[in-house]
Amino acid sequence: MTLKKLLLGAALGVGALIGVASSASAYVVCNREGDCWHTESRYRYPGIGFSYHPDDWYFHQRWDADRRWREYNRGRGYWRGGVWVTF
């Protein structure tokens, strides 16, 4: 194998990894009651307000009685008063 082919293969591999990594997006969403959780999409529900943050926002927060981290749930829905509400 020549050095040119090796470098070309490495460049293609790195390019594929960058393409896959950049297409993924995630958010941390919080409701007005202080419940926060991970989501992959931004949803709008009539009469309900959320604040969306970048995924790494989670690591820079203090989690206490005013702001609670909730586990990931499958399906479309949101946390309200410590209960997952599904649509």
The pLDDT, as a whole number, for residue 33 is 92
In a domain, 49, yes or no: yes
Q: Could you list the residue range(s) of the whole structural domain that residue 61 is in?
A: 23-86
Count: domains in the chain? 1
Is 22's pLDDT higher than 50?
no
CB 78 within 8 A of CB 45: yes
> pTM score > 0.85 for this model?
no
CB 55 within 8 A of CB 28: yes
Is 41's pLDDT higher than 90?
no
CA distance 27 to 11: 30
In a domain, 28, yes or no: yes
In a domain, 53, yes or no: yes
Phi-psi category of 57—alpha, beta or left, where left has phi over 0 and alpha has psi -120 to 50? alpha
